[in-house]
């Protein structure tokens, strides 16, 4: 069994999270400058078996795609072309940034660390991955 990787794609930075090989636990991996994302994914996928990518899907409250959704489309095409053997799933990412910030507060992080936008991006990727895993577990039962 391979890992599942969540991608919280952003214009400047992209947060990444992965499961363990047994797909039980979601953990933060990294925040990468978006312009260095593909080389990072190339290197990671050479070292680790990735079974699936889960890319955050930005939506409005009425379930329509947000303005930033169009910015992700070229990335999705490039990802599918670069890794044709790895399926890509989408996961609603509404509220993940707010939930990430709250999780950081609940975890006792100080104000300075909570201002670290790279950390927020990575925690958001973990939340996207956890949501995907929960949804996937519910469909197996």
Domain 3-140, CATH homologous superfamily name and number? YqgF/RNase H-like domain (3.30.420.140)
Q: What is the distance between the alpha carbons of residues 5 and 49, in angstroms, rounded to a whole number?
A: 10
Please write the tens of the pLDDT for every residue from 44-57: 999 999 999 999 98
Task: Give the domain ranges of the chain.
Answer: 3-140
Both tokens of 102, joined, read 């709250």
Q: What is the distance between the alpha carbons of residues 96 and 54, in angstroms, rounded to a whole number?
A: 14
pTM: 0.81
Q: Is the pLDDT score of 121 beyond 60?
A: yes
CB atoms within 10 A of CB 12: 11
**What is the DSSP secondary-structure string of 27-76?**
EEEEEEEGGGHHHHHHHHHHHS-EEEEEEEE-B-TTSSBPTTHHHHHHHH
Lowest-confidence segment of 37-41, 50-54, 68-72, 127-131 by average pLDDT: 68-72
Please write the tens of the pLDDT for every residue from 77-116: 999 999 999 999 998 875 555 555 556 556 665 656 545 5
């Amino acid at each position: 069994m391979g890992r599942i990787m969540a991608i919280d794609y952003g214009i400047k930075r992209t947060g990444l999270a992965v499961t363990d090989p047994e797909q039980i636990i979601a953990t933060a991996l990294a925040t990468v400058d978006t312009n260095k994302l593909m080389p990072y994914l190339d290197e990671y996928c050479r070292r680790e078996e990735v079974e699936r990518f889960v890319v955050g899907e930005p939506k409005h409250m009425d379930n329509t795609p947000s303005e930033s959704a169009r910015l992700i489309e070229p990335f999705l095409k490039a990802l599918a072309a670069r890794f044709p053997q790895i399926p890509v799933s989408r996961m609603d990412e509404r509220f993940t940034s707010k939930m990430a910030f709250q999780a950081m507060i609940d975890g006792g992080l100080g104000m300075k660390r909570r201002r670290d936008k790279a950390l927020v991006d990575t925690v958001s990727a973990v939340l996207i991955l956890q949501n995907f895993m929960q949804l996937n577990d519910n469909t197996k039962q």
